[in-house]
Amino acid sequence: MTEQNKHPEESGLDLFRPTAEDERKGITGITMEQEIVSVATLRARKRRRRAIMLSAISLFVVALVIISGALITRYDPFKTRDYSGGGNGTTVTFTIRSGQSTAQVAQELEAAGVIADADKFLEVYTKESKGKYLQPGTYELQQHMSSSSAITTIIDANSNVLYLAIPQGKRVSETIDLIVSGSDGAFTRKQVEDAVSNYTQYGVPSNFPSIEGWLHPGEYRFPKDTDIKKVIQTMVDKTKADLKEAGVSGDQKTFEVLTIASIVELEAQPKDYVAVAGIIENRLNNPDGETSGLIQSDATVTYGLGVRSYHLTEEQKADKSNKYNTYANKGLPKGPIGSPQLASIKAAAAPEKNPYYYWVTVDLDSGETKYSRTYAEHQRYVEEYNQWCSKHPNRCS
């Protein structure tokens, strides 16, 4: 008997049927059900499979186009990645601003048409800069310079220039550190310390205990062979110019304004300078008032201690031997506690008239500052500050 002529009961399905012995044991075996599908159903299924396949292909193509477009935009094979030579003769005056990253400079050089490709510029800079930086300043470049040529031009322009950047709020000791480190070996620390020790030679009044308060913050450029005294004189002259603009004259008035300005700058945000200067004036002018004539500035105490901190012990606040301790000693401290800039000098010269005796910055990130007339009200705001510090312990150390 051929396979096709077998009786259904003797077909391959019999392989899954239980034997007589299995049936006696209760084993019934596997039941298979044959599916009968119409031609229409088969065609419908085929259409669905085709539609699903086409959708998948379409999505893949769209994704491929998007990715390809992004790659072409960044790695355009037809884009010139670098020019050759020193430019096409068309001058471009280009400025590198303070605080810009090399990547930002590269993007702006490309936008100005100086270089062909910012990414290529960064590659060349990494290989050829040899640890030298693109210093802030204004440079005469050309259009269509090679990356190497642009880098060399910028760096060489500073090869004979002494560039110093003095941030706001620095003390004399910190400014000396910056001058020494920024001079690239031109000045030793002893040379700078000796230069500032005889401070009256620069026109600083003798009623100041040191040159503190006069080394104006900012960016400076000098020829590499500039004498250190010329550097110091330039900084002092900028402070003199600020005092003149603020209408301050006379040795005693100058001492008061620079000292208060240095406190204001470290104790307040720029938006609060004039208000805090007014509060300090209220305290100084009312020795029998709410604060008994005490400025009570943490910044002055820490200056006298030679540290920087937001926290002081009660013993440190009670130490009268610290001539910068405005908790224990009435009136102004011994002298300025940093070198202020124009905004704080103007605030100290023309403080806001207000009724307050207290201020506290309750949020060191936003700079939110609250003022009060009484100590009880001030304590509520201090508690706000303490709560903020409990949530930001690393900011209040």
In this predicted model, what pLDDT tens digit does every residue of 212-235 receive, in sequence order?
A: 999 999 989 898 889 999 999 999
Mutual angle of helices 342-349 and 251-267, in 10-degree steps: 120
The model's pLDDT over 173-195, given as tens digits with 9 standing for 90+, comes to 999 999 999 888 889 999 999 99
CA distances from 351 to 193, 257, 307, 354 (A): 34, 10, 28, 9
| pLDDT confidence tier of residue 36, bands split at 50, 70 and 90 | low
Helix pair angle (228-245, 189-197), 10° resolution: 50
Overall size of the chain counted in residues: 397
Rounded CA-CA distance 240/289 in Å is: 34
Per-residue pLDDT band at 8 (split at 50, 70, 90): very low
Residue 137, beta-bridge partner list? 96
CA nearest neighbour of 169 among 284, 270, 240, 237? 270
Which range is least confidently modeled, 20-34, 79-93, 289-303, 356-370?
20-34
Residue listed under structure tokens 């186009």: 65
DSSP symbol at 394:
G
Q: 28-32, 62-66, 344-348: which has the minimum mean pLDDT? A: 28-32
Instruction: Give yes or no for a contact between 95 and 140, defined as CB atoms under 8 angstroms apart.
Output: no
